[in-house]
Amino acid sequence: MGGEEEARAEPARNTGTDEPFVQIKGVTKKFGDVTAVDNVDLDIQRGELFCLLGGSGCGKTTLLRMLAGFEFPQAGTISIDGIDMSEVPAYERPTNMMFQSYALFPHMSVEKNIAFGLQQDRIPRSEIADRVHDILKLVELQDYKKRKPQQLSGGQRQRVALARALVKEPKLLLLDEPLAALDKKLRKQTQFELANIQEQVGVTFIVVTHDQEEAMTLSTRMAVMNAGRFEQIGTSTEIYEFPQSRFVADFIGSANIFEGRVVEDSADHVRVETDLCEIYINHGQSVAKGSQIWVALRPEKIYLSKNAPEKPGPNQATGMVDDIGYLGDTSIYKIRMDNGLILDVTAPNQIRPMSRTHAITWEDKVYLSWEPASAMLLNS
């Protein structure tokens, strides 16, 4: 999967080193009986592109709206650039919001749409002209400034909305599903453009998205939300390679998850007994010997072969090919293991006759193995 490949590259962009620019402390928001945001804490550094990622109804938009000042928490505090926002109304906050719908004025040209907010703020005309000119250049829409929104493509409309939000020079830009209106291919391309623009302007972005691939491509860090709480906060690599819970392991990418018992816990390795095989992990994870635990194994980390391993050992299991899904760049193999469990294994479709997965087909007996660094232990 493309997003997973991207996840393995450390974000090159600035993750910030200053004092937290946005501080969220113990924030709770309830609507009647529904706790939309449940006692969350979060620090975001200046210049970050931070994603709030989660499924429908997990509370991400409510948190974004509290940052914007459209909703107020019942408990906890939010400060932006060192100032407590508890008493600060939306229009006085150093924030701007870009809505999923873009909310462009259909009767106004691109440049008038962008200039509108500055005119409302009574900025001098010559300054407006300069700022609109600069921002059109940034989003590469100079040649489209006289067009109306309906004369633009979806991607161009998205850039007008971004330009209109950025031209007001907010310290913090809040983006609610900014790419949701675009088709999949355009969305992928626009993710990189958005990240590049953010890097150029250096404004702190907080982006709400339900799309894990988008969060991985865009973000310097992300928070994975579930039922109003943060399940895990970290870089794409940390979240993908070291998920801490079954929810995160399953929500970001896909994972084979099974139960086991810790039989050895040393400083540099852990051994876990499962009814699949013995699992040896060579990265230190602090777990008590004897404890029941969950193990996650990503489908792309498993080697598949028709040949038995040279010598038996941990991290090896056998099964039979139950099903194969051809995805073009990769194939997914559903392997029915000897203990009855079905494991997913993905393999790239390289044209290499000697490849280990070459010619593996339905009903074949196969040997699965993985590196000592590949399995992950989950706390919950």
The encoded tokens of residue 79 equal: 């400060």
Between helices 125-138 and 154-166, what is the axis angle to 10°? Answer: 140
**CB nearer to ligand ATP: pick between 27 and 136:** 27
Q: Which residue is nearest to ligand ATP (CB)?
A: 61
Give the interface with ligand ATP as residue ranges (CB under 6 A): 31, 34, 36, 54, 56-62, 210
Output the smallest distance, CB 65 to ligand ATP, in A.
Answer: 8
**CB nearer to ligand ATP: pick between 115 and 173:** 173
Amino acid letter at 149? P
Phi, psi of 30 (to 5 degrees): -115, 145
Output the smallest distance, CB 356 to ligand ATP, in A.
Answer: 41
**CB nearer to ligand ATP: pick between 31 and 91:** 31
Three-class DSSP category at 126: helix
Query: What is the sign of the dihedral through the CA atoms of 7, 190, 177 and 254?
Result: negative
**CB nearer to ligand ATP: pick between 36 and 136:** 36
Output the smallest distance, CB 36 to ligand ATP, in A.
Answer: 3
**CB nearer to ligand ATP: pick between 58 and 114:** 58
Please state, in angstroms and as integers, the Cα–Cα distance from residue 245 to each residue in 108, 190, 267, 283, following that order: 49, 31, 22, 17
The answer to whether the beta carbons of residues 97 and 176 sit under 8 Å apart is yes
**CB nearer to ligand ATP: pick between 56 and 361:** 56
Output the smallest distance, CB 210 to ligand ATP, in A.
Answer: 5
**CB nearer to ligand ATP: pick between 2 and 57:** 57
**CB nearer to ligand ATP: pick between 26 and 55:** 55
Output the smallest distance, CB 63 to ligand ATP, in A.
Answer: 7
Three-class DSSP category at 334: strand
Output the smallest distance, CB 66 to ligand ATP, in A.
Answer: 10
> How would you list the strands of the sheet with 342-348, edge to edge?
303-305, 365-369, 316-326, 330-337, 342-348
Output the smallest distance, CB 95 to ligand ATP, in A.
Answer: 17
Output the smallest distance, CB 97 to ligand ATP, in A.
Answer: 14
**CB nearer to ligand ATP: pick between 40 and 163:** 40
Three-class DSSP category at 2: helix
Three-class DSSP category at 84: strand
> How would you list the strands of the sheet with 229-234, edge to edge?
95-98, 172-176, 204-209, 49-54, 221-226, 229-234
Output the smallest distance, CB 3 to ligand ATP, in A.
Answer: 18
**CB nearer to ligand ATP: pick between 40 and 172:** 40
DSSP states of 127-193 as a string?
HHHHHHHHHHHHTT-GGGTTS-GGGS-HHHHHHHHHHHHHTT--SEEEEESTTTTS-HHHHHHHHHH
**What is the enclosing helix (H) or strand (E) of 34?**
strand 34-45
Output the smallest distance, CB 54 to ligand ATP, in A.
Answer: 5
Nearest Cα residue to 214 out of 103, 378, 60: 60
Q: CB neighbours of 129 closer than 8 A, spacing ≥ 6?
A: none
